[in-house]
Chain A
Amino acid sequence: MKEVVIVGAGVAGLSAAAELREQGWDGHLTIIGDETHRPYRRPPLSKDYLSPGIPESVAIPQADDLDATWLLGLPATGLDLDARTVLRGSSDPVRFDGLVIATGAHARQVPTNLRGIDGVLTLRGLDDADRLRAALTNDPAVLVVGAGFLGTELAATFRARGLPVTLVDRARLPMIRALGAELGSRVAELHETHRVHLKLGRNVRQLLGNGRVSHAHLDDGTAVRAELVVVATGSEPTTGWLLSSGLAITSGLLVDSSGVASPGIVAAGDVASLRHPLIPGSPVRIEHFANAAEQGTRAAQALLELKPRRPMPVPSFWSHFYHWRLQSVGFTGDSFAYQTVETGPGEQFVGEFRHDGRLVGAVANNNPAAIVKYRRRLQVEME
């Protein structure tokens, strides 16, 4: 295998590249990315990166040690499995022997009724974050649309800057998909304690303003001041470029347990969809930083036809908002039965998620030792 192409210059792609070199593969490596940036950390973009002052760099330094050809600023537009090439619009196709697909996800489009007026932003990548920073300099009243992870973190970040914040979601509770109703209620209380105006079970009907947004009308008939609107309604896997490739797309690119989509083609990160031993049934995508890194490593090992060095990773996520330091392992959310099993000072807690009585996940606030313990337990369950 002389030529490996990695499509996607995020953490999953970087992790795959690093593992190829770690294993001593010395062929020619090309990394294709649609952004102009080399790999960077996304998590700070909704938190510290939006604080006043000059933000710390989010670049990942390991990217510079790879001995790779970087083709940045142009997305892949197609995949020709017969010719074994990646198409890049009108630029030359790039030939590969082995391929790593790590194109991640992109923010869901701003709904039609919120377009056509200035002051409406989404946050997915570094360029978005820079635009958002610029929009914060005049201390706007902010409307955040979507109260999942991102919307919750953003609301907290904007409140820390002293901005008035309205948080709207059509669901009845924040983070209900990720955490379930009981914890979602606690997150709602936390927002209210920090004087976020919560509008749950609500939609934005229309934005008003003279060229630039100044107010939002909600479907309960109320109007809220909104000089900046941030739409945080989730993301979709970036698989459009693969639709005519012949690979199996099912909300994400389907891969087996070692990350293989097709001979000589592997995938990792937000784009990859896989059946996980902890959850029987439909394939899932695991959209968090640590998983991207772990999947990238496994995908590279599969490409080199090595047996995986470590067991299949247990999914995990973390989220920081206000004084909460939330971490989880395994599968969580409103599809499972939740129970708090431990509480401690400073709103510390540990809770379990079960499916038909079987432990599938755990969540903890300010208790990393509990997470380490549950991860080991879930790892054993998987064997």
Chain B
Amino acid sequence: MRVQVDRALCELHAQCVFIAPGVFSLTADDDLEYDETPAPGQHAAVRQAALACPAQAIRLLASL
């Protein structure tokens, strides 16, 4: 799985941080950072985060 956050759409609701904290986090400067290739054990949480994002900013792509 490859994760891509559209920065133009991201509004920093941080729901992804709540739902998949192993993949998404906020930096000290309130920026979103994330693991672009999360481990299989995180995939379900990442899918939930993508669904729960109020801005629909999270795109999930198949791994290369």
Q: How far is the CB of B33 from chain A (nearest CB, A)?
A: 12
Quick check: A372 and B26 within 8 Å, CB to CB?
Answer: yes
Given A22-B44, A41-B56 in contact, is the A325-B51 Cβ separation under 8 Å?
Answer: no
Given A18-B48, A293-B48 in contact, is the A372-B54 Cβ separation under 8 Å?
Answer: no
Quick check: A15 and B56 within 8 Å, CB to CB?
Answer: no
* Neighbour of A60 across the interface among B26, B28, B47, B56, CB < 8 A: B56
Given A41-B56, A375-B18 in contact, is the A14-B51 Cβ separation under 8 Å?
Answer: yes
Quick check: B11 and A320 within 8 Å, CB to CB?
Answer: yes
What separation, in Å, do the CA atoms of A316 and B17 have in the docked complex?
13
Quick check: A371 and B54 within 8 Å, CB to CB?
Answer: no
Provide the residues of chain A in CB contact with B19, threshold 8 Å.
294, 310
What separation, in Å, do the CA atoms of A18 and B43 have in the docked complex?
13
What separation, in Å, do the CA atoms of A290 and B51 have in the docked complex?
9
What separation, in Å, do the CA atoms of A60 and B51 have in the docked complex?
8
Q: Classify the interface of chain A: helix, strand, loop or mixed.
A: helix
Given A41-B54, A41-B56, A372-B26 in contact, is the A290-B13 Cβ separation under 8 Å?
Answer: yes
Given A18-B47, A375-B18 in contact, is the A368-B26 Cβ separation under 8 Å?
Answer: yes
Provide the residues of chain A in CB contact with B1, threshold 8 Å.
none
Quick check: A289 and B47 within 8 Å, CB to CB?
Answer: no
Given A41-B56, A290-B52, A318-B54 in contact, is the A22-B13 Cβ separation under 8 Å?
Answer: no
A369 at the interface (CB under 8 A from B): yes
What separation, in Å, do the CA atoms of A174 and B21 have in the docked complex?
35
Quick check: B52 and A367 within 8 Å, CB to CB?
Answer: no
What separation, in Å, do the CA atoms of A43 and B13 have in the docked complex?
12
A297 at the interface (CB under 8 A from B): yes
* Neighbour of B52 across the interface among A22, A293, A369, CB < 8 A: A293
* Neighbour of A368 across the interface among B12, B28, B48, CB < 8 A: B12
Binding site for A on B (CB under 8 A): 11-15, 17-19, 26, 28, 30, 44, 47-48, 50-52, 54, 56
Binding site for B on A (CB under 8 A): 11, 14-15, 18-19, 22, 41, 43, 60-62, 289-290, 293-294, 297, 310, 316, 318, 320, 325, 327, 367-369, 371-372, 375
